[in-house]
Amino acid sequence: MKKKILFIIWSYTYGGGAEALLTVIVNHLNPEKYDISIIEYEHAETKIEKVNDNIHILPYIQAVQTEENYSKTYQLYHTPEVLIRTYIKKEFDLYVSFNYLIPTFLLPKGTKNISWIHGDVYNLADQNFLRERIRQNNAFGNVEKIVAISDFTELSLEELFPEHKDKLVKIYNGIDIDKVKKESMEQTNIQINKPAIVFIGRLEENKNPVRLIHILRLVHDKGLNIHLYYLGEGKLKENIYEEAFKNNLLEYVHCLGYHQNPFPIIKQCDITCLLSKQEGFSMSLLESIALGVPFVATKVGGATELSNKERCGRIIKSDEDAQKAILSLLKIEKSSVRRECEKSIQRFNIKGYIAQIEDLFDSVIN
């Protein structure tokens, strides 16, 4: 008999990295062994993930009508059992909360469950997040295993929640390399001006997209008129253009918006830049390496592992570091970089990744 698994995620329609990773996982889990469902807390219209026919996408969570007429947020933090009773049915063999905070608050007590954490949790060390940290600690008390997706994620969990250290399991993110390469061959009407840097992700504070304008200015000051492309949407789009205007770089800055398939665009670029303040294990860096595109990134989760001793990427602290890294990577012969990327990405191939996940699921269920 198939084992029934429910993944609980904050949003499965927002177009983020966690959503993309979950899609990779559910589409590759053995359909003969598992009956898989997904439920989201927050619904958006940004992206419809392509899942196999055997994957059940459940109606998203909304406020439960009660006499008090409380909001969904109030119910989540004060009477979560109302939401759980209505939406998280007690018919599954395993429950997986796909990130920290909200998804973990929706795990039904007394069940076989796993908490899958996608980034570091250092923000919970801030005194302003004390209540969230207490709630998270209580939620971890109800889980059997906690998955950390990078060394950095694991370290943050050990430091902030040491009493749950024995529950930690580290599983680096994986990627369907063949799928990424195949989708990169699809036609696109966007032609990149080279040399080119690409930014992939939401245009929000944590991703730090405006900082790239200042780095672009430094590169231009060295006489290299490189172009910068943003793949994503967000509230900082106008800030990006404002900074580009101030730095006389408007003709070199291009906001392309969100693309269901960004790979034909990424493949044309020379370098991917990731300047996030926090990341778990960046899918955009994984995808870039799979396409033979090296990266420049801040020291966030996954970056060190993926750089493979700087053969495929450079870790930076300052804007000046980023300038030097970009100029250095552009001098390396492209065929040499592609070979190193190809060797590096094999460590994260989908077959080994799914095998680790299925072993974990079976051990918790049994």
303 compared with 15, residue with greater pLDDT: 303
Alpha-carbon distance of 91 to 5, in angstroms, equals: 9
Whole-number Å distance between alpha carbons of 121 and 110: 25
Q: How high is the pLDDT of residue 143?
A: 97
- Report the range of poorest mean pLDDT among 43-52, 82-91, 143-152: 43-52
Helices 17-28/283-290 angle, 10° precision: 70
**Residue 341 predicted with pLDDT over 90:** yes
Give yes or no for residue 47 having a pLDDT over 90. Answer: no
Which pLDDT score is estimated for 45? Answer: 83
pLDDT by residue (tens digit) across 54-71?
Answer: 999 999 999 999 999 999
Q: Residues near 362 by Cβ (< 8 Å), separated by ≥ 6? A: none
Tokens for 197, please give them: 């840097």
Higher pLDDT, 46 or 159: 159
pLDDT tens string 230-259: 999 999 999 999 999 999 999 999 999 999
Q: Which two tokens stand for residue 245?
A: 């205007």
pLDDT bin (cut points 50, 70, 90) of residue 282 is confident
Candidates 74, 64, 140, 68; CA nearest to 109 is: 140
Closest CA to 228 of 191, 272, 259, 278: 272
The whole-model pTM stands at: 0.82
pLDDT more than 70, % of the chain: 100
How far apart are alpha carbons 25 and 211 in whole angstroms?
33
115 has a pLDDT exceeding 90: yes
Q: Is the pLDDT of residue 300 over 90?
A: no
Alpha helices in the chain (DSSP H): 17-28, 72-78, 80-87, 102-105, 130-140, 151-160, 177-184, 211-221, 237-246, 263-266, 283-290, 303-307, 319-331, 334-345, 350-365
Is residue 281 scored above 90 in pLDDT? no
How sure is the predictor about 261, in pLDDT bands with cuts at 50, 70 and 90?
very high
Flag whether pLDDT at 207 surpasses 90: yes
Asked if pLDDT for residue 81 goes beyond 90, the answer is yes
Sheet-wide strand order for 145-148: 56-57, 34-40, 3-9, 94-98, 113-117, 145-148, 168-170
Measured between alpha carbons, how far is 264 from 187 in angstroms, rounded to an integer? 7
Pair 228, 271: CB distance under 8 Å: no
Does 119 have pLDDT greater than 90? no
pLDDT exceeds 90 at position 121: yes
In this prediction, residue 155 carries a pLDDT of 93
What pLDDT shows up at residue 149?
92
6 touches 94 (CB < 8 A): yes
User: Mean of the per-residue pLDDT values for the chain?
Assistant: 95
User: Is pLDDT of 226 > 90?
Assistant: yes
Give the span between the Cα atoms of 255 and 230, in whole angstroms: 5
Number of neighbours of residue 322 by Cβ within 10 angstroms = 25
pLDDT of res. 102: 97
What mean pLDDT do residues 136-162 have?
Answer: 95
pLDDT at 35 over 90: yes
Confidence of residue 320 (pLDDT cuts 50, 70, 90): very high
- Partners of residue 114 on adjacent β-strands: 96, 145
- Amino acid 270 reads D
What span, in angstroms and rounded, lies between the C-alpha atoms of 311 and 315?
11
Beta bridge partners of 229: 198, 254
Confidence band for 262, pLDDT divided at 50, 70 and 90: very high
Nearest to 229 by CA among 206, 261, 203, 204: 203
pLDDT at 131 over 90: yes
DSSP 272-302: EEE--S--SS-HHHHHHHHTT--EEEES-TT
